[in-house]
Each structure stands twice: as structure tokens, then as C-alpha cells.
Amino acid sequence: MSTPVPDPRSMPQPTARTVARRCAPANWLIPTGLVLLSLVPVVAGSLRLAELVGGPPIVPDGDRVAAAPVALVTHIVSVTVFSLVGAFQFAPGLRRRHRAWHRAAGRVLVTCGLLTAGTGLWLTLFLPPAAVDSELLVAIRVVVSVAMATCVGVVSARSGAATSPRTGPG
Ligand code: HEM
């Protein structure tokens, strides 16, 4: 004789409070980890921006990268917003309780992601090459920027972030 299998629909469902309690560590662990990961490029980018507006030359190669100042500034600003705001999109509680914020941030992040990839590609192709640049590094940068733009485009299309004010990511 086989043991009867209980119908999952008749089993008690977790309450909203139980779900919130289970997600509590993820609410701060994921954004904290992602913000920590972003710190090095964000600090390096800030030092470069400070240098471009007349600050001391702390980051090497200033003259070379200043050959494309608009692309470089756009790259650094969009990468900074993408990394820091993007980190909070992965907090389950924030996503659930502040859906309007999550959707608005999603639209900003799509723009910043595309700008990051586009300016990254531009810098790869049009900056004078550094001593350490090789053909392989250039090829990797081209592949990564196309992959990043494609991923951002696919996520945006799937969530409706770029087109519909009602059905943003979520
Ligand atoms: C999408 C792919 C990306 C490509 C192809 C790319 C490419 C580049 C290139 C070619 C430069 C000029 C650096 C040089 O030649 O010395 C640059 C600068 C920079 N990138 Fe990216 N990048 C990409 C994504 C990112 C991401 C995701 C971050 C941060 C997490 C980032 C952070 C920076 C920073 C901070 C600088 C300024 C460095 C400096 O001023 O010396 N980039 N990027």
C-alpha cells in the first residue's frame, strides 16, 4: 500500500511576515556585498573625475584617457550609478515593499547600463592604446560591452522597463 501524498494546496501557506523574516538577511547582505564590490571602481572613477576638473593626478595615465573626456566622464558616472543603485535592486524586501521605487530605479539602470557598455566600447576603440593593451584585451572588452548591452536590453524588454510606465521590472 502506498502512503497518501498530501495535496500542497491544503498545506498551510507561509504568511507575509514569515516570508519577510526569511528574507531579512538577504535584504542587507546582498546590497552590502554588491556595494563593497563596487567600491574600487567607484573610488578610482571619483579620483579620475576629480583629476579631470583640476584635482591632483593620483590615478596613472591621465593624459592618455583625457583624450576622450566626454566618453570617460559618462562612463564613470553611469558605472557609478549602475553599481550603487543596482545593488539595491537585489534586496527582496525593498523590491516587495517599494515597487514604484524599484521600477523607477530599473528604468534609470537600463539607461546607465547601456551608457556604460556604449562608452566602454567607445573608449576601447578610440582611446590611444595603453602599454598594457593587447589585441586580446581589446577583443575581450568588445565582447563584454556587446554582452552587457545585450543583457541589459533583454532584461529591459522582458520586464517592460523601457517602454511601459505601468509594467516596470519587478
Ligand atoms: C561594458 C564593458 C566595459 C568596457 C568595454 C570598459 C572599457 C573601459 C575603457 C577602455 C576604459 C579606459 C581605461 C584605459 O584605457 O585606461 C574604462 C575606464 C573605466 N572603467 Fe570601464 N569598461 C566597461 C565596464 C565597466 C564597469 C562595469 C566598471 C565598474 C564596475 C567600469 C569602471 C571603469 C572606471 C572606473 C574607469 C576609469 C579608469 C581610469 O580613469 O583610469 N567599467 N573602461
CA of 91 to the centre of ligand 1 (A): 26
Does the C-beta of 59 come closer than 6 Å to ligand 1?
yes
Q: What is the mean pLDDT of residues 127-145?
A: 95
Q: pLDDT at residue 144 above 70?
A: yes
Among 53, 73, 123, the mutation site with the greatest number of ligand 1 atoms within 8 A of its Cβ is 123
Q: pLDDT at residue 97 above 60?
A: yes
Q: What is the mean pLDDT of residues 49-61?
A: 92
C-alpha triplet 80, 61, 71: angle, nearest 5°: 45
CA of 123 to the centre of ligand 1 (A): 8
Does the C-beta of 52 come closer than 6 Å to ligand 1?
no
- Distance, CA of 120 to CA of 145 (rounded, Å): 6
CA of 142 to the centre of ligand 1 (A): 12
pLDDT in the model for residue 168: 45
Does the C-beta of 75 come closer than 6 Å to ligand 1?
yes
- Distance, CA of 113 to CA of 136 (rounded, Å): 23
Cα-flanking dihedrals φ and ψ of residue 2, to 5°? -90, 150
H or E element at residue 28? helix 16-52
Q: What is the mean pLDDT of residues 57-71?
A: 92
Cα-flanking dihedrals φ and ψ of residue 13, to 5°? -85, 145
pLDDT in the model for residue 37: 97
On whether the CB atoms of residues 107 and 165 are closer than 8 A, the answer is no
pLDDT in the model for residue 7: 75
What is the pTM assigned to this prediction? 0.84
Residue 14 DSSP code: P
Q: pLDDT at residue 161 above 60?
A: no
Does the C-beta of 48 come closer than 6 Å to ligand 1?
yes
As to burial, measured by CB atoms within 10 angstroms (0-12 exposed, 13-18 middle, 19+ buried), residue 92 is: middle
Does the C-beta of 61 come closer than 6 Å to ligand 1?
yes
Does the C-beta of 76 come closer than 6 Å to ligand 1?
yes
Does the C-beta of 127 come closer than 6 Å to ligand 1?
yes
